[in-house]
Chains A and B, each alone.
Chain A
Amino acid sequence: MLLSVFLVLVTVSGTLAAQELKEFHVFMGEPLPDYPGSTIIGDIIRAETGVKLNREYLVGDLETKVGLMIASGDYPDMVIAAHFTSLLKDAGVLVPLNDLIEEHAPNIKRLYANHWEMLQQEDGNVYWLPIQAIPYGPDTSRYPSLGFFISKKVLKEAGWPVVKTLDEYFGLIEDYVKKHPTINGESTIGYLTLFDSWRSFATTNVPQHLMGYPNEGEFVPVLEQDRFVVRDYHTSNTAKAYYKKLNEMYNKGIVDKETFVMNYDQYIEKLSSGRVLGTFNQFWQLESAQNILLRDDPESIFVPFPVVIDGLVEEYQRDIPYVQSTQGMGITVSCKDPVGAIKYLDYLIREDTQRLIQWGIEGEHYEVDENGLYYRTDEQMALFRDPDWVQNVFGRQYFHNSFPSLRGVDENGNMFFPDTQPHLIYSSSHDSEKEVMDAYGVKSFSDLYNEPRERKYFPLWTITMPAGSPAHIEETRMKDVLNGYVPELVMSKPEEFEKVWANFVRDISPLMEKQMEVYQEGIDWRMENW
């Protein structure tokens, strides 16, 4: 009895949703709560395209999910799966898009024109669309993409010093901890480093930045004569100095004891508590904590600096604006209506739709001034400062993160992303942020960094190892060794450091050669063809 009632309920609610819309099943390789069903921009897009998306967001880990998807032969209509994109192509899952775009997608053709060479594979076909195209020109943002972040209160107390080297950075933190052993009644955490599963690059990728490089990944291409030569940095003197410094700080109690076992949630929770004085990371990994601090404890916000190992190194850590050419959204061989799918993507990418997704409806979500520049009133701004509203009512995340979109400057001088609108970066900043910017005489935190250097292939990390190849196995092993040794390097007794370091170098050195070959080949190809 009871059972049949449940079964009926389950089936009824299953059939109710069906309507006269074209449906596409899309898999997206990021975890996001399910689509709320109706959002401001989602409803407009659905009405204009007659397309209903069945979205499947990632649950569990991406590798397992996509590994099984590929093995099974059960594909969604459209798929975007981070670094698995090229594997999907190799496995014959993705259809070539050239003809579809030529015939049905004038906007895609026009807006991706700048990047077309990068997207062409060896067979001359294009199989996926990167999630961001930069059709007219790059933008700058309030925060640089990565840095050694330090609490505002440390800087303020020390009289706004410019932090250049690792020694200066930890010096400031150490002094502050000595003076303020507790914050809000709890012990002060001098430095926190994130080591949770795949996010551990926030700890292990640091040496390259201390050498001045932007984020290249596991290796750095060094300009030698006229050629970019792939070099290892994990065993460099800079890496050694970095881990030795962390080791020293750990043994002094500056680095949090729990830092190597906390997960990402705990990391964010600690950062948002205001007790943490410093952390290295890419900004997007700590953005949610920064937003919490801005509202809860604005004096404890984090300020990024391009810290290097010593005064001799010149930094160019800022990302060169790049299109993530090796990953993006593709249409699979299972899609029964590839024309409909490409038309849908073509609709999404056009400037008007992008403006709808990023800015909203004119007069309701943004205004246009006499110079044609967009801005938001205080009330509008308040709406968009509420992430829950933006995600669940407005619906931006559901059309932005995984779908092809545009960034940078648009065709009439505005920015596609409201928070990079140049005249708004400073004026729309929080008072607490303004205080820091004023103290350093800059209009955005990115200005604390040097201009990036031209590196045409940028970045190295978008080159992927062929699936299951010896280089791929070597990569997994190398990361295993790295993840095994780094905590030991940091947490061993100071007198044991040299021994651990020697073992680390011994174990990791044989695990690089094959990867470096693949990277070198990729870099050379890019320098030639891009």
Chain B
Amino acid sequence: MMIKKRYVNWEDIIINVFVYIILILLIIVTLYPFLNTLAISFNDALDSSKGGIHLWPRKFTLYNYKTLLTRRQIFHASLVSVARTVLSTFLCTFSTAMVAYTLSRKEFVLRKFISFVYVLTMYIDGGLVPTYFLIRSLGLTNSFWVYVLPGLVSAFNLIVIRTYINGLPDSLIESARVDGAGEFTIFFKIVLPLCKPVLATIALFVAVDNWNAWFDTFLYNSANPQLSTLQYELMKVLQSANTMTGSLEQALAQAAAGTVHTITPRAIRATMTIIVTVPIVIVYPFLQKYFVHGLTVGGVKE
């Protein structure tokens, strides 16, 4: 890449110092709120309300987690969340890749038309109520599939994958074609394996969106607790944190009696935040190596 210089270069030093300072600041600003929340989630609730908790719990306890994780709703909702995330990720990524491949074929006669149809969906929508009517008449309300089907192929992801496929060397596909391979064979045997980085990236996009979604549960599945998702439970907890502090008063009564365990709205919020955030935070670093290669929008290819 770069040719190393062996003499002292002031520009180099200044740039390095500047770069490191900025990045360290960025790391602090990014991490602090999470670490603070983490500390509060592991700290005794009543003690937290006195303030002054920063990076480390002062009075360590697992009680906050015990209180939330023993609610069966939360356990069940995490299963639903995992199921929808895994299934959506798989189906969406695959479908989007397939459509993207056809759109990358310059000779495909429907190419312009299909691209146009998809791109338009990025900017227009029929609104909440008509969409609801549609979902209902398709029988998707109170159904697990409403989490998966409506968002199968998104225009943005399509553009990203198409751009990536466009960047692959044409010679690979052409030579396969000369060897008599059909479109399906080319797609499965040649394009898909080459697309691994972009697919990993899109998979992560889809996974994050699915994991973080709560509005679809609110709209379509709120009548069926079996289909509740973890984010929706988070919303519930954030809202009824006060009605849950029934247990705060009880805890205070216990505190007076000597058995110290309390929970406050703030502690509930912090703990639920961590419960919801940790799974996705554990997953993404493993996919990280693909991001940079996978995400190319706007041809850098000459």
* A392 part of interface (Cβ distance < 8 Å): yes
* Shortest Cβ gap from B271 to chain A (Å): 14
State A159–B292 Cα separation when bound (angstroms).
Answer: 72
CB of A265 within 8 A of CB of B243, answer: no
Considering only CB atoms, which chain B residue lies closest to A265 in the complex?
Answer: B265
CB of B253 within 8 A of CB of A385, answer: yes
* A288 part of interface (Cβ distance < 8 Å): yes
CB of B132 within 8 A of CB of A72, answer: yes
One of B112-120, B173-181, B203-211, B216-224 at the interface? B216-224
* B136 part of interface (Cβ distance < 8 Å): yes
CB of B236 within 8 A of CB of A59, answer: yes
Q: Given contacts A59-B239, A386-B249, A390-B246, are A10 and B144 in contact (CB under 8 A)? A: yes
Q: Given contacts A33-B240, A56-B223, are A268 and B252 in contact (CB under 8 A)? A: no
CB of A14 within 8 A of CB of B226, answer: yes
CB of B218 within 8 A of CB of A59, answer: yes
* B53 part of interface (Cβ distance < 8 Å): no
CB of A268 within 8 A of CB of B86, answer: no
Q: Given contacts A72-B136, A265-B265, are A2 and B240 in contact (CB under 8 A)? A: no
Partner of A288, one of B51, B71, B242, B255: B242
State A54–B244 Cα separation when bound (angstroms).
Answer: 20
Residues of A within 8 A of B264 (CB): 269
State A181–B225 Cα separation when bound (angstroms).
Answer: 50
Q: Given contacts A68-B128, A265-B242, are A388 and B73 in contact (CB under 8 A)? A: no
CB of B265 within 8 A of CB of A269, answer: yes
Residues of B within 8 A of A269 (CB): 49, 264-266
State A426–B133 Cα separation when bound (angstroms).
Answer: 56
Residues of B within 8 A of A34 (CB): 73, 225, 236
State A73–B137 Cα separation when bound (angstroms).
Answer: 11
* A312 part of interface (Cβ distance < 8 Å): no
* A145 part of interface (Cβ distance < 8 Å): no
Partner of B247, one of A37, A65, A388, A397: A388
State A68–B218 Cα separation when bound (angstroms).
Answer: 11
* B232 part of interface (Cβ distance < 8 Å): yes
CB of B240 within 8 A of CB of A60, answer: no
* A83 part of interface (Cβ distance < 8 Å): no
CB of B79 within 8 A of CB of A9, answer: yes
State A11–B144 Cα separation when bound (angstroms).
Answer: 10
Hey, what's the 0/1 contact readout for B68-95 against A, CB within 8 Å counting as 1? 0001110010011011001100100000
* B195 part of interface (Cβ distance < 8 Å): no
* B166 part of interface (Cβ distance < 8 Å): no
Residues of A within 8 A of B269 (CB): 265
* Shortest Cβ gap from B176 to chain A (Å): 31
CB of B266 within 8 A of CB of A288, answer: no
CB of A59 within 8 A of CB of B222, answer: yes
State A393–B144 Cα separation when bound (angstroms).
Answer: 32
- CB-contacts of B214-272 with A (<8 A): 218-219, 222-223, 225-226, 232, 235-236, 239-250, 252-253, 255-256, 264-266, 269
State A388–B218 Cα separation when bound (angstroms).
Answer: 27
Q: Given contacts A10-B80, A10-B226, A56-B223, are A295 and B243 in contact (CB under 8 A)? A: no
Considering only CB atoms, which chain B residue lies closest to A64 in the complex?
Answer: B218
Q: What size tier do the contact residues of chain A reach?
A: 35 or more
Considering only CB atoms, which chain A residue lies closest to B250 in the complex?
Answer: A388
* B141 part of interface (Cβ distance < 8 Å): yes
CB of B235 within 8 A of CB of A10, answer: no
* Shortest Cβ gap from A474 to chain B (Å): 24
* Shortest Cβ gap from B39 to chain A (Å): 18
Residues of B within 8 A of A72 (CB): 129, 132-133, 136
Hey, what's the 0/1 contact readout for B180-217 against A, CB within 8 Å counting as 1? 00000000000000000000000000000000000000
* A7 part of interface (Cβ distance < 8 Å): yes
* Shortest Cβ gap from B66 to chain A (Å): 14
CB of B82 within 8 A of CB of A31, answer: no
CB of B242 within 8 A of CB of A391, answer: no
State A14–B77 Cα separation when bound (angstroms).
Answer: 12
CB of B132 within 8 A of CB of A386, answer: no
- CB-contacts of A361-404 with B (<8 A): 385-392, 397
Partner of A273, one of B49, B219, B256: B49
Considering only CB atoms, which chain B residue lies closest to A6 in the complex?
Answer: B83
CB of B256 within 8 A of CB of A295, answer: yes
Residues of A participating in the B interface, judged by any CB pair closer than 8 Å: 2-3, 6-7, 9-10, 13-14, 25, 27, 31-34, 37, 54, 56-60, 65, 68, 71-74, 76, 186, 264-265, 268-269, 273, 288, 291-292, 295-296, 385-392, 397
Residues of B participating in the A interface, judged by any CB pair closer than 8 Å: 49, 51, 71-73, 76, 79-80, 82-83, 86-87, 90, 128-129, 132-133, 136, 141, 144, 218-219, 222-223, 225-226, 232, 235-236, 239-250, 252-253, 255-256, 264-266, 269
A-B pairs, 10 with minimum CB distance: A387-B246, A388-B250, A31-B240, A265-B265, A6-B83, A388-B247, A14-B226, A295-B252, A388-B246, A31-B239
**24 A-B pairs whose Cβ atoms sit less than 8 Å apart in the complex:** A2-B86, A7-B83, A7-B87, A10-B76, A14-B226, A27-B223, A33-B71, A34-B225, A54-B225, A56-B225, A59-B218, A59-B235, A68-B128, A68-B132, A265-B241, A269-B49, A288-B242, A288-B248, A292-B249, A292-B252, A296-B255, A386-B249, A387-B249, A390-B246
